[in-house]
Structure formats: C-alpha cells, structure tokens
Structure 1
Amino acid sequence: MNSPDDPASLAELLDRLRTETEGTAHVSVGNVLNAVGERSFGPVALVAGVITLAPLIGDIPGVPTLLGLLVLLTLGQLIFQRHSIWIPAKLACRNIERKKLVKGLDWMEKPARFLDCWTKHRMPWLVTGPGQYIMATLCVLVAAAMPLMEIVPFSANGGGLALTAFGLAIIARDGLLALLAVVSTGATAWLILTNLPW
C-alpha cells in the first residue's frame, strides 16, 4: 500500500503539492491525487488531514466531508487491494482556488518542519504489514465520521489531526506517532458523541 515515490516527510508533501499544482488557478481533487500518488495509503491520509487542518480551507463548509469521501473511496479500495483506484468524475473535478491552498500550505510549513524533526523509525510493526491495514481501517472510520464533524464545532480539527498523524506515521514508519493518532481518534469520537445536538 506504499510506494517508493511516496514523500518522505510532511514538509516534502507540502512542497510537492505546491510544485505539482503550479500554473493553475484552481486545484481539483484529481490534481491532488496525482500530486501525492493515488496508490499510496500514507500520502492520501496525510494530504486529507493537512487540508482539513489548514486555515481558510478546512473551515469551508463541505470540505471536511469531501476529504472524508476521498479517503473512504481511496483507502477503502486499497484495503481490498484493487489495482486501480476509481474516483467519480464529479468528485475528481471538485476544486478550490490554488491561492487558498497555497496560503494553507504556507501556514502548515513551520508545524510540518517541527513534526518532521520528531518523527523516526519506532515500533515499525504498528505501521507495516497487518498493522498498516489496521491503521487504514481506522482512517476509514475517521473519514466516515467527517459529515458529523461538520455539525460538532472543532471536531473536524480532531479528525484532520488524526488523519495527518496516521498518514505521517505510515510514511515515517513511526509506530509511536500511530499510537498518538489512535488517541486523537478516540478523543475526537468522544467529542462528537458528547456534543451531538440530538
């Protein structure tokens, strides 16, 4: 579920999103998948988490749900080991202004470099082999809850944080970060369940 072409760090992923989307006024979901590699689990989860967390982007109504749908479609198919990923044309064509995307990526630059300094190979059994499929399943559960997160204030940030941590853990082979992602997922689930309006 990972590829040798995967970005090796969060900062590298942000750079790749900038450079691969140059020369266009709007960036589509299809452009993002092409930039990060649609056959890789880590980068797909990571980019969905980063965009959800980024100011000016993740706060736009519907964006967390859209990203959750992207994660569900791609990771769901990767879990079942499909050789090619199918994305509905309507979803692939959904887009945002590149200017907003770049502003959000710029805001993430310092936190990304800080996180990259702290990630390393730890407890790799949690993020490789069967452990990687468990992480993918947890990401799918987070993604499925994204529509609810748009109802409960600040919970989408928790979901974005969990997806970012899961994706980065897979890329960096950092099992400790994967455990922190599991904690973030649990905290977000608690926030949603205790604050639903019904």
Structure 2
Amino acid sequence: MVDDSPGMEPEVPPTDLTALLEQIQHAGEGEERVSLEAILDSVGQRSFAPFLLIAGLITLAPLIGDLPGVPTLMATLVVLSAGQLLAGRKHVWFPRWLLTRQVSRERFQKAMGWMKRPASWVDRLLKPRLSRLTRPPAHLPVALTCLLIAMAMPPMEFVPFTANGAGLALTLFGLALLADDGLMALFAYMLTGGTLAVVVTSLA
C-alpha cells in the first residue's frame, strides 16, 4: 500500500538542525509509540534535505540506529525519496509498511536528547558557501550519491561501524542542502567514498 497524500506541512520549514529536531520532537505527541509516518509528517513532504537528515540521524542515534534492520529501513527511505526527487515529484510517497514502523516513546525521547546536545554546535558550523555544490542542478548528484549509499547500507549491517559512516554521510548531505553549505557537501562526498571503500574491501 502506498501513501500518496501530501500530508501535513509544518508551519515553518526547518532551516537548521536545531529547528528540524524541534519539529521532530513533537511527532506523534500523546502516543505511547512514535511511527515513522509521524516523524515525516512533522517536517512535511516537500523537501529532500529533512528526509536525508532523518535517515542519517536515526541510523546514528543510539537505542534506535543499533536495532537490527534499522539501517536497511533507513536505506529504503532514502532510495524512495531520492528516486522521487530524481523523477521530479513534488510530494514524496512511501509504502504503508514503512510508514507504520514504530519505536517506543521512551526510546524516541532518549534518542532525541542525544541528538539535540550537539545541534547548536553543528548549526554554528553551517553557513551558505560553495553553493554550486548544493543548488540545482547540483542536488541531482547529491541524490544519486545518497542512492548509492542507501543501496550499500544493507550489507553494512555486517561490517562494523560502516553503517555509522553511511548515517553520517546522509546527515552531512542533509545539512548541506538545508543550509546551502557546499563545504559540508564536499565532506559528505569524501566520507561516502571512504565508507564505500571500507565496505568493498571488507566484503571482497
């Protein structure tokens, strides 16, 4: 089943990591469990950058990212969103089986607390620069690179720490697009190359 509805758009689109986390923290309020659908609805379905950040942060987050199968689920999220970006869709849709994945409220809040601690420090590093690497049509190679990362993430579950590298690369790409920071995109490209090289070497 596919969810093709536009969803609830946030009143103010996130412009940095702190703003994104503030929106995500209110996902599924009042519920004992937080679904991926609630998290995605908290940031809307019009922008590729928040999807990359969500996938990267969830993969990196303790208590969530280390759960078996989570990197593969986040890879699916990236494949679907990147593919639709490349196809020129204005709204992103996801299959119901992906949207209904849930985590306990307690685990979610602990992970959010972990992610919010470095957020203000990260935001201070971000600024518009080298915009040729983030503004259209540069967002297309970013999407292709993220697609490659996502396709490599399932086997990364068997190579220690490489899923963390993939999650960090997705996070950096998301930050780069969110803040129009081409330098962050450069770091993400380099990290992607290094992580994929480790995976290929380990599985060869």
For structure 1, the 5+ residue unaligned runs are none
**What residue is the counterpart of 2:163 in the other structure?**
156
**What residue is the counterpart of 1:144 in the other structure?**
151
**Counterpart of 1:178 in structure 2: which amino acid?**
A
Q: How does 1:83-162 map to 2 (within 5 A)?
A: 83-162=90-169
Q: How many Å separate the matches in 2 of 1:110 and 1:177?
A: 20
| Post-superposition offset of 1:4 | 9.3
- Partners of 1:79 and 1:136 within 8 A in 2: yes
- Partners of 2:81 and 2:92 within 8 A in 1: yes
**Counterpart of 1:171 in structure 2: which amino acid?**
L
- Partners of 1:37 and 1:44 within 8 A in 2: no
Moved more, 86-95 or 166-175: 86-95
| Post-superposition offset of 1:184 | 0.8
- Partners of 2:56 and 2:171 within 8 A in 1: yes
**What residue is the counterpart of 2:54 in the other structure?**
47
Q: Paired residue for 1:182, among 172, 189, 194? A: 189
Q: TM-score, normalised by structure 1?
A: 0.93
| Post-superposition offset of 1:86 | 2.6
Moved more, 186-195 or 154-163: 186-195
Moved more, 147-156 or 73-82: 73-82
**What residue is the counterpart of 2:172 in the other structure?**
165
User: How many residue pairs end up in the alignment?
Assistant: 195
For structure 2, the 5+ residue unaligned runs are 1-9
Q: How many Å separate the matches in 2 of 1:4 and 1:146?
A: 33
- Cα deviation, 1:44-86, whole Å, max 9, x if unaligned, reads 0011101111111100000010011011112211210124323
- Partners of 2:20 and 2:43 within 8 A in 1: yes
- Partners of 1:29 and 1:91 within 8 A in 2: yes
- Partners of 1:29 and 1:92 within 8 A in 2: yes
The percentage of counterpart residues that share the same residue type is 47
- Cα deviation, 1:73-104, whole Å, max 9, x if unaligned, reads 12211210124323111111111112212211
Q: TM-score, normalised by structure 2?
A: 0.91
Displaced runs of 4 or more, over 6 A:
none
Q: How does 1:17-28 map to 2 (within 5 A)?
A: 17-28=24-35
2:138 is paired with a residue of what secondary structure?
Answer: helix
The root-mean-square deviation of aligned C-alpha atoms, in Å, is 1.5
